């Protein structure tokens, strides 16, 4: 019968053949690295989202401003009963459908606009609401149809109706 004996204990100064790697602080360093990387990724992605939001807001404001200017010029001409000027502000398609004389005759038969307020553009339909008060006190919400000039890129009014 043989008894297995354990090897004798190592003496002083002897190193074991395969020492275990040090583990103290390793988890903390990995966690810290992941935390820093996650924070940087969050800053970069968050900054990108904020930049896109800012760009969309600026573009929306610019489009509303351009539409407001164009519709206000047209409505000012209609309010002043200057139908020749209003006709010149119409888009090419509307001018092709109706001549200057017909436009002036049709607009001359409408009620006089006393006051108006231009709303925000609806990009889905390409319209701008216009709250109109007529000389007799009646009010209406009209929609100004917009088109973009193919050569200049500027908005143009193609008509105003209910």
Residue 119: which residues within 8 A CB-CB, separation 6 or more?
128, 129, 130, 131
145/128 Cα distance (integer angstroms): 7
Give the model's pLDDT for residue 46.
85
Domains of the chain as residue ranges with CATH: 35-161 (3.10.450.100)
Residue 87 · residue 158 · CB < 8 Å: no
Could you give the CA distance from residue 127 to residue 158 in angstroms, rounded to a whole number? 10
Rounded Cα distance, 82 and 68, in Å: 19
Angle among Cα 115, 120, 153 to the nearest 5 degrees reads 105
3-state secondary structure of 19: coil
DSSP letters spanning 102-125: HHHHHHHTSPPEEEEEE---BTTT
Q: What is the pLDDT along the chain (162 residues), one digit of tens a residue?
A: 556 677 766 667 766 666 666 666 667 778 888 889 998 988 888 888 888 888 888 887 788 888 889 999 999 999 999 999 999 999 888 889 999 999 899 988 888 899 999 998 888 888 899 999 998 889 999 999 998 888 888 888 888 887
pLDDT of residue 14: 67
Tokens at residue 6, please? 């354990």
Residue 70, SS3? helix
Q: How far is residue 92's CA from residue 150's CA, in Å, rounded to a whole number?
A: 10
Distance CA 73, CA 157 (A): 10
Say what the pLDDT of residue 102 is.
Answer: 92
């Amino acid at each position: 019968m043989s008894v297995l004996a354990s090897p004798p204990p190592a003496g002083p100064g002897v190193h074991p053949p395969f020492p275990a790697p040090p583990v103290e602080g390793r988890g903390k360093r990995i966690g810290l690295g992941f935390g820093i990387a996650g924070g940087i990724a969050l800053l970069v992605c968050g900054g990108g989202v904020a930049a896109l939001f800012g760009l969309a807001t600026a573009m929306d404001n610019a489009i509303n401003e351009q539409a407001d200017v164009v519709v206000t010029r047209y409505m000012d001409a209609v309010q002043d009963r200057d139908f020749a000027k209003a006709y010149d502000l119409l888009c090419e398609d509307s001018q092709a459908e109706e001549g200057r004389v017909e436009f002036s005759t049709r607009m001359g038969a409408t009620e006089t606009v006393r006051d108006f307020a231009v709303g925000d553009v609806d990009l889905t339909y390409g319209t701008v609401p216009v709250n109109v008060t007529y000389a007799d006190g009646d009010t209406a919400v009209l929609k100004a149809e917009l088109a973009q000039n193919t050569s200049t890129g500027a908005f143009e009014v193609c008509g105003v109706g209910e």
